[in-house]
Structure 1
């Protein structure tokens, strides 16, 4: 039988070890968890994050809405003074992203191309790709925009040339042609045969996503940080199309922000940045509200009225206009991406002119902006896992009066921003990936409770050991707690 002394010693030793171990682990557990998370998240060809990044496994959908002008005859005849628009769609496509031509660099970056594939989802769409849609002819608008500063005689010649092909500046095409198949306009074929013309249009058809489906190189080459040297930079773009700058001046032309798939843990940052190759710039989203997705708490970052400002409200965004501000610098809420779109007068806004200066919005009928059209991103803060993405943009054509090009000057006003289409890219985490986040979070929050329990057990063992020791001492005749005082002889 084990003696009381040995039992006491064993209990106190074990208790002390458990208390020390538990206390130390409680203090260092956040750092240990973060270290393990980094090993999983830092991008390598063998990391947990690699397969998710290379082929996004979560369903991603593209919803396209086309604007149809309902009063073309009235506009051409001069009876109506406003364009009347009717929204068609959504035409929904399942979207797939695959990283190709992956090259690992020595400076903690990776070079790759992002191949995108779209498949039409008829059962999720409102309408068919055979629907006819009428709007401004983007080719006429682009040619007029190219020619706006040319000699009047040259502009008159181009106007006569285009009038031999088109009766007016509007065109009707199917939804499929407007989106992916492209509109076959004779102006493009003729322009291709005569390179000496004063304008260059570098495509044989026009479509908002023409020549992009299954294209490897359309979006260009990206150089992205893997997070190996600085984990906080995980997923951030450092170069695009072999440059660290785009067409915009100053900080607006910096290549920066996340690609959107990988995020380092966002411990309460007030804002996040996303690089948008279609805009040749980055977008800033601001901390908005706390959100719960499939039982997981996250934080939603959303756009505000600074998204497409160019210095009217936020001086630091003046770099989206020339240093000498002219009429090409549109009112707040519209971003001029003509330099990014081969010189076409393309302007990007939020859908239905949401958060935009009313100057252009009041010139057309049919706009109905709603709060849920705002761009938003929801992240789980401790893992950086995207819980939901809703990227929404509207493409517009800027139609302004151009002297001597009468085909372009048929609108009731001489300065109109015509909505052409808007799209929404939506991604919401699945139950499978929500479970991965739950496991990580349970480990993150559950282990400390286990460590607290370990420490408590250690304390109980220590106290029990002390109790046994005290009890033994109290019962021992050899070491009485109180000794009798010797008698004093008188």
Structure 2
């Protein structure tokens, strides 16, 4: 009877004989092996496809579209104004212009994509609405600060007639003197930027309907009528990334054109992203972005790495080839403007104004520009344009895009306020767009990247565990067979 009790002992959970335990172990090992094998083979690719789809803007339900529709990364636009401190000495004695940098004047910047249309050719057409709000607590100074700078309207008008007959220039000079137009103008920061100001000369020029004066506004300000506008930046067409993730975010048309009319040859080709949505660069040596304010592309070069909240990204920086005019890079010759290298004429895309873009403080430009004026202090630490991208997703980790607007002050005979000055590139202001990934978005990105590898490793672990159970199964089979081959000497016989 003791033997029977040993055989039929139960703990209330049911009974599993040694043979049952052996085959249960075998079944579990096979199941784990199949699950592990399928996971290790198919998870990486299937999850990769899912992740790539979520990064695209192919439809309004993807995470990529939601992040792109309204940019979740906090962005700030900073302005640094150049206050001209010795304009009278420049007019009277041809002294070297002196400038004092004021700022930063910081605005929170928010982007919303409007009029979004999904096309059948893997592209999306849209407009960008940019909204700015001044941040006094982050700024040095007030929007009511007075700034003295080269009179932009006077420069616009004088530039239009510089090659006209001397009598035409004298007629313009008469208007200048009659309306008390001076070489410099003093206005508040707010007026120079977003608010704008009324200008008598501008009103006269608009009434005269001068053909080369294409200003669409009755008040002047560098960013007037831009705050909240959905039309100013134009109409963009870019790849959605649905069928080719390597093209995600690349702009293929601007204002319905593949190439701008502002620059000839390769310089006018529209290429690159908007700077906010990127394809996975995966260590590319160069990336390109299209800047509407430059009406052209900007090339950035791989230069080290950058880490934010545990994410490591490839860092790309701007070099001297951005504003080269063919002096050092022959392919840039289509940007030639008759002046030393280091700046780009944006006259044709900025209402025919004698405006030129460069890096802040003429960083990486020919020393000619720095030596013409006082107050410039170009440094790599403060004035290098760069961005960092997570290589597997293209998520931007940080952005610092900095450019400077300059006006060409020409010596023009017949117009008194310009007849006694030295032709000089005058810095007006520089601005930079800053952005850095938020902690929550960084953690989400890390989780998505870790999940792809983690589940794959779990699959490998299940395969390893199943193999271990297989060995254990073999051991159990061997043990049971060994027991069956041994007959104890004191074995009892039970009869019915």
* TM-score scaled by length of structure 1: 0.90
In 2, the alpha carbon distance for the partners of 1:265 and 1:30 equals: 17
Q: Could you give the per-residue CA deviations for residues 57-88 of structure 1, whole angstroms, max 9, x where no partner exists? A: 2221111110001111211221x521110001
Match of residue 463, structure 2, among 452, 455, 464? 455
CA displacement, residues 26-52 of structure 1 (integer Å, 9 cap, x when unaligned): 344432232011221221111122222
Separation in 1, partners of 2:181, 2:113: 45
CA 410–468 in structure 1, closer or farther in 2 if over 3 Å, else same: farther
**Alignment match, 2:489:** none
Match of residue 323 from structure 2: 308
Match of 2:435 among 427, 452, 460: 427
- For 1:259 and 1:132, locate their aligned partners in 2 and report how far apart those are by CA, in whole Å: 34
**Structure 1 equivalent of residue 76 of structure 2:** 61
Query: How far did 1:200 drift?
Result: 4.8
Match among 344, 359, 369 for residue 378 of structure 2: 369
3-state SS of paired residue (2:270): coil
**C-alpha displacement of 1:370:** 2.2
**C-alpha contact (below 8 Å) 1:12/1:463 kept by paired residues:** no
Is 1:74 aligned to residue 86 of structure 2? Answer: no
Q: CA deviation at 1:199?
A: 4.6
Helix, strand or coil: the match of 2:100?
Answer: strand
- Name the CA distance, whole Å, in 2 between partners of 1:354 and 1:10: 73
| Partner Cα distance (2:283, 2:301) in 1 | 11
Partner of 1:362, secondary structure, is: helix
Instruction: Give the superposition deviation at 1:385.
Output: 1.2
- Quote how far apart the aligned CAs of 1:231 are: 1.6
Q: Is the 8 A contact 1:191 1:200 kept in 2?
A: no
Partner of 1:281: 296
State the shift of 1:179 in Å. Answer: 0.6
Specify the alignment match of 1:132 in structure 2.
146
Query: Deviation digits for residues 290-313 of structure 1, max 9, x if unmatched?
Result: 111122211211111111112111
Distance, in Å, in 1 between the alignment partners of 2:62 and 2:171 is 61
**Following TM superposition, by how much is the alpha carbon of 1:249 offset from its aligned partner in structure 2, in angstroms?**
1.3
User: By how many angstroms is 1:190 displaced?
Assistant: 0.7
**Of 168, 180, 183, which residue of structure 2 is paired with 1:169?**
183
1:417 aligns with 2:417: no
Would you say 1:390 and 2:405 are equivalent positions? no
| Change beyond 3 A, Cα 1:137–1:17 | same
Matched, 1:355 2:370: no
Q: Contact conserved, 2:181 with 2:201, CA < 8 A, in 1? A: no
2:411 alignment partner, one of 392, 401, 404: 401
Shift of 1:198: 6.6
* Mean CA deviation greater in 347-356 or 10-19: 10-19
Which aligned pairs between 1:15-34 and structure 2 lie closer than 5 A? 15-19=29-33, 21-34=35-48
Distance 1:384 1:22, change over 3 A: same
Inter-CA distance 196–314: structure 2 relative to 1 (3 Å threshold): closer
- In the alignment, is the contact (CA less than 8 A) between 2:385 and 2:401 conserved in 1? yes
Q: Does 1:97 align with 2:138?
A: no
C-alpha separation between the residues in 1 aligned to 2:214 and 2:71? 37
Separation in structure 2 between the aligned mates of residue 463 and residue 258 of structure 1, nearest angstrom? 56
> Does the CA-based 8 Å contact 1:102-1:110 persist in structure 2?
yes
| Residue 221 in structure 1 maps to residue 235 in structure 2 | yes
8 Å Cα contact 2:341/2:365 also seen in 1: yes
Deviation at 1:8, TM superposition (A): 4.2
Match of 1:250 among 253, 265, 270: 265
Contact 2:194 2:221 in 1 (8 A): yes
Q: Gapped runs of 5+ residues in structure 2?
A: 1-14, 487-496
TM-score by length of 2: 0.89
What is the deviation of 1:465?
1.4
Determine whether 1:346 maps to 2:385.
no
Partner of 1:468: 476
Match of 1:206 in 2: 220
Kindly provide the CA deviation profile for residues 143-196 of structure 1, in whole angstroms up to 9, marking residues without a partner as x. 222223322322232222223223531111111111111132211111121125
Q: Number of matched residues?
A: 469
- 1:379 equivalent in structure 2: 389
Q: Which runs of 5+ in 1 are unaligned?
A: 322-327, 479-490
Shift of 1:209: 0.6
Superposition CA RMSD, Å: 2.0
Give me the whole-angstrom Cα distance separating, in 2, the residues matched to 1:472 and 1:141.
Answer: 101
